[in-house]
């Protein structure tokens, strides 16, 4: 019986570690991406010019707002502000990035998207699609899970310690 209880504890602890790792990985990606776009917005702006045929003022506005949104979401997650809603918003954002990477690859864009400024090379293609689908899946998993505390409560309510 003690062995079963220890296995349940270890499973819950492992889930918590994985969940927290994913959570803070997403935070780091959001903050790094947002800050690098603020430092050098030109690669992203050039990509947006190549894809969207709209007024340049709108593109500059979008290139200004997107990193602020990413940094804002990252900080909201760091400080646990509206965490569940923020995670769903981040999931939607990462889905948009995934869809944009697929679209850019299909239409044949061959430049750096500017996802991480000039710090990380990020050209359209299969690698970008895989990266963005991975980020989307991780964000989705942590958004739909109720977090490690709820899982722990469910496990430990069944087994009294």
User: Coil, strand or helix: which one is 115?
Assistant: strand
User: What pLDDT was estimated at residue 151?
Assistant: 43
> Hey, CA dihedral for 133, 135, 138, 143, is it positive or negative?
negative
Least Cα distance to 70 among 42, 34, 23 occurs for: 34
Angle at 55 between CA 54 and CA 60, to 5 degrees: 105
The alpha-helical segments, DSSP class H, found in 108-125 are none
User: What pLDDT was estimated at residue 75?
Assistant: 98
> Domain count of the chain?
1
pTM for the complete prediction?
0.83
User: Coil, strand or helix: which one is 146?
Assistant: coil
User: What pLDDT was estimated at residue 7?
Assistant: 64
> Hey, CA dihedral for 130, 134, 140, 141, is it positive or negative?
positive
Segments forming the whole domain that contains residue 63:
2-158
Contact 126, 105 (CB under 8 A): yes
Please list the rounded mean pLDDT of every run of 10 residues in the chain (161 residues): 65 83 97 93 88 90 95 96 95 97 92 77 91 97 73 47 43
Cα 159 from Cα 161, distance rounded (Å): 6
User: What pLDDT was estimated at residue 73?
Assistant: 98
Contact 31, 91 (CB under 8 A): no
């Amino acid at each position: 019986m003690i062995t079963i209880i220890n296995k349940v504890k270890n499973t819950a602890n492992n889930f918590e570690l994985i969940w927290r790792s994913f959570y803070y990985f997403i935070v780091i990606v959001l903050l790094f991406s947002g800050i690098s776009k603020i430092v050098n917005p030109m690669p992203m702006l050039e990509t947006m010019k190549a894809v969207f045929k709209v007024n340049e003022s709108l593109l500059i506005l979008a290139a200004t707002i997107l990193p602020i949104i990413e940094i804002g979401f990252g900080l909201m997650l760091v400080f646990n502000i509206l965490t569940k809603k923020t995670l769903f918003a981040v999931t939607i954002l990462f889905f948009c990035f995934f869809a944009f990477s697929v679209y850019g690859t299909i239409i044949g864009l061959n430049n750096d998207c500017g996802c991480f400024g000039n710090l990380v090379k990020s050209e359209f293609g299969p690698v970008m699609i895989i990266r963005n689908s991975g980020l989307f899946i991780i964000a989705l998993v942590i958004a739909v899970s109720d977090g490690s505390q709820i899982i722990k409560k469910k496990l430990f309510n069944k087994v009294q310690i």
